[in-house]
Structure 1
């Protein structure tokens, strides 16, 4: 009976390992998607203000310096989403970067509510949800395993 109990523990540990692998793949896919979205928007806002002004409705009503700051923040968030995992160093910074992107999305939701652009909030909510998922998932991965 004791041997059977040990086998269940081994199976449970193998399933947990497999689940962590699947979660890691899912988190990487979401991180890459978020990085692509925020990098494209961030570069436009930070370095191509006139294009941003023509393509993003709120940009013309916000000071140019704030638009650039938001763009640079998004680019830094992209770096934070990817670089710690690639290098294997300070991986908790991935969660910090994702939380920063969540803050940007919350502020964006507030701006869209203020401007009455309720249909645009959906994009912010989706990006917020994905970034929050990454923040939580990577935070959990950084916690030491329980024995």
Structure 2
């Protein structure tokens, strides 16, 4: 189970590191052109806060558990990504993008597995 959780953590960290970097550096138009269409419904300050949350979560998924320093931050980061995915799914639902909602659901499920699995291991 530990190996499986590490794999999920690495995948989630990679996905949200990329998403966070894109949302923190690109314009709304560029984000939409590259497939991050969910930003269309939010003001850019909200997008930038989401970007910061995703970047912090990417670090929180890996570093605390790997170092043993404040390991409770790993399930907390995963739970935070669940919240972000609920917002993303809402946005893509409003935009009538079922494929993106499905992707959000998969990411939500992976983050929930990490949150529950790591919380149980504390």
Q: TM-score, normalised by structure 1?
A: 0.76
Note the residue ranges of structure 2 that are not aligned, 5 or more in a row. Answer: none
**1:135 offset after TM fit, Å?**
0.2
When the two structures are aligned, how many residues end up with a matched partner? Answer: 120
CA deviation string 1:40-78 (max 9, x = no partner)? 011000122353232122324421111111111100110
Query: RMSD of the alignment, in Å?
Result: 1.3
CA deviation string 1:15-64 (max 9, x = no partner)? xxxxxxxx111111110000000000110001223532321223244211
CA contact (8 A) 2:38 2:88 kept: no
Q: TM-score, normalised by structure 2?
A: 0.91
**1:109 offset after TM fit, Å?**
1.0
C-alpha distance in structure 2 between counterparts of 1:29 and 1:110, whole Å? 27
1:97/1:69 CA distance change after superposition, 3 Å = same
Which of 34, 37, 61 is the aligned partner of 2:12?
34
Note the residue ranges of structure 1 that are not aligned, 5 or more in a row. Answer: 1-22, 143-147
Which of 48, 62, 69 is the aligned partner of 1:68?
48
Name which of structure 1's ranges 51-60 and 30-39 shifts more when overlaid on structure 2. 51-60
CA contact (8 A) 1:77 1:100 kept: yes
